[in-house]
Amino acid sequence: MGRIRVIPVLLLEQGRLVKTIRFRKPSYVGDPVNAVKIFNEKEVDEIIVVDISATPNGTPPDYRMAREIAGECFMPLCYGGGVRSLEHARQLFQAGAEKVAINTAALENPKLVESIALEYGSQSVVVSLDVKKNMWGQYRVCTQSGRKELGDDPKTAALRMESAGAGELMLTSIDRDGTFEGYDTGLLAAVCHAVRIPVIACGGAASIAHMRAAVRDGGASATAAGSMFVYKGVHRAVLISYPAQQDLTAQLFDVI
Partner 1 sequence: MITIVDYGLGNLLSIRNMLRRLGITSEITADLARIASADRIILPGVGHFAKGMENLHASGLIEVLNEQVLHHQRPVLGICLGMQLLSRFSEEGDAQGLGWIAADTRRFDRTRLEDHHKIPHMGWTDIHPAHESPLLRGIEAPRFYFVHSYHVICDHPEDVLATATHGYPVTCAVERGNILGVQFHPEKSHTYGMKLFTNFVTHY
Partner 2 sequence: MDTTDPDISFDVHGVCNHCHSYEKLRRQYLYSEAEGQALFDGLIREIKAHGQGKRYDCILGVSGGVDSTYMAWLAWKNGLRPLVIHLDNGWNSEIAVQNIHNIIEKTGFDLYTHVINWEEFRDLQLSFLRASVIDLELTSDHAISSLIYYIARKYGIRYLMSGFNVATEGILPQAWRWSKFDWLNIKAIHKLFGKVPLKTFPRTSFWQKTYFDLLLRLRTVQILNYLPYDKAAAKATIMQDFGWRDYGGKHYESIITRFYQGYILPVKFNVDKRKAHLSTLINSGQLSKTQALAELEQPVYDPQQLEIDREFVIKKFGLDEAAFQAIMEAPIVPHTHYPSYETRHYRYHERFFEAVRPLTQLLKKLAGRPVSTPQSQTT
Where on the chain is the footprint of partner 2 (CB under 8 A)?
15-16, 28-31, 33-34, 37-38, 41-42, 68, 71, 232-235, 237-241
Q: How far is the CB of 228 from partner 1 (least distance, A)?
A: 19
Q: Residue 106 — φ and ψ, nearest 5°?
A: -65, -45
Name which position in 13, 51, 62, 98 contacts partner 1 (CB under 8 A).
Answer: 98
- Residues marked as catalytic: 130
Q: How far is the CB of 23 from partner 1 (least distance, A)?
A: 27
8 A C-beta contact, residue 61 and residue 79: yes
8 A C-beta contact, residue 243 and residue 44: no
User: Which residues 6+ apart lie within 8 Å of 18 measured at CB?
Assistant: 11, 12, 26, 27, 28, 29, 52
* Alpha-carbon Rg for the chain in angstroms: 17
Between residue 72 and residue 91, which ones bind partner 1 under the rule CB under 8 A?
A: 73-76
Binding to partner 1 by residue 251, rule CB under 8 A? no
Binding to partner 1 by residue 93, rule CB under 8 A? yes
The pattern of x and - marking residues 208 through 247 that bind partner 1 according to CB under 8 A reads: -----------x-xx-------------------------
Binding to partner 1 by residue 116, rule CB under 8 A? no
Q: How far is CA 127 from CA 117, 122, 239, in A?
A: 11, 10, 29
8 A C-beta contact, residue 218 and residue 183: yes
Cα 99 to the center of its chain, rounded Å: 11
Q: How far apart are CA 61 and CA 146, in angstroms?
A: 18
120 binds, among partner 2, partner 1, none (CB under 5 to 8 A by kind): partner 1
Q: How far is CA 73 from CA 32, 35, 79, 179, 224, in A?
A: 12, 11, 12, 28, 17
The pattern of x and - marking residues 176 through 205 that bind partner 1 according to CB under 8 A reads: --------------------xxx-------
Size of the site for partner 1 (CB under 8 A): 33
Smaller CB separation from partner 2, 93 or 229: 229
1 binds, among partner 2, partner 1, none (CB under 5 to 8 A by kind): partner 1
Smaller CB separation from partner 1, 38 or 150: 38
8 A C-beta contact, residue 62 and residue 15: yes
Smaller CB separation from partner 2, 28 or 249: 28
Name which position in 46, 62, 152, 184 contacts partner 1 (CB under 8 A).
Answer: 46
Q: Which of 130, 110, 234, 108 lies closest to 180 in space, CA to CA?
A: 234
Type of residue numbered 207? S
Residues that bind partner 1 (CB under 8 A): 1-5, 40, 43, 45-46, 70-71, 73-76, 93-94, 96, 98, 120-124, 167-168, 196-198, 219, 221-222, 256
